[in-house]
Amino acid sequence: MDIKEKIQEASTAQTGQSAHEAIKEADEYFAKIREASQQIPTPKRGLDDAEERKMQDGFALEEMTKSAGWAIVSDILGNMPKANVDPRGLTEGDWKFQQLNAFWSGTVASELLEGIYGIIREAHELHRIKVGEVNASTRMKF
């Protein structure tokens, strides 16, 4: 007698049904549970004061990004050179210094843009939590 037969025999002896029937019954039971859990509405979670403030700040930044002036500022920051220094007339030390300044200025500009758009994404996520689109019980607070 192999191990499969022993398991089936033990299952039948204890419950009076074969292992195949028990598995089928369990699958039906879990299908009913899945169906019932999908019908439960996602609970809304109120935001605390800090999260509410973050959401409001994010939406304020989003309004700013929709203006014509922001398009200009965004282009300037996005196209800021990261290392574009003309070496003519500079000593090697001055050229390296200006090259590093250009690189870090461009990097900071890119990080500023990424930070602003990250705050806007966070505000939208907080709003989804507030209105119940995201299951708040499994979601971390910001």
In sequence order, what are the residues at sequence separation of 6 or more whose Cβ sits closer than 8 angstroms to the Cβ of residue 6?
Answer: none
* Residue 19 in this model has a pLDDT that exceeds 90: no
- Say which range, 31-40, 43-52, 56-65, 100-109, has the weakest mean pLDDT: 31-40
In the chain, domain spans = 3-38, 49-138
- Whole-prediction pTM: 0.58
Residue written as token pair 């300037």: 76
pLDDT of residue 2: 62
Mean pLDDT of the region 37-45:
63
* Residue 68 in this model has a pLDDT that exceeds 60: yes
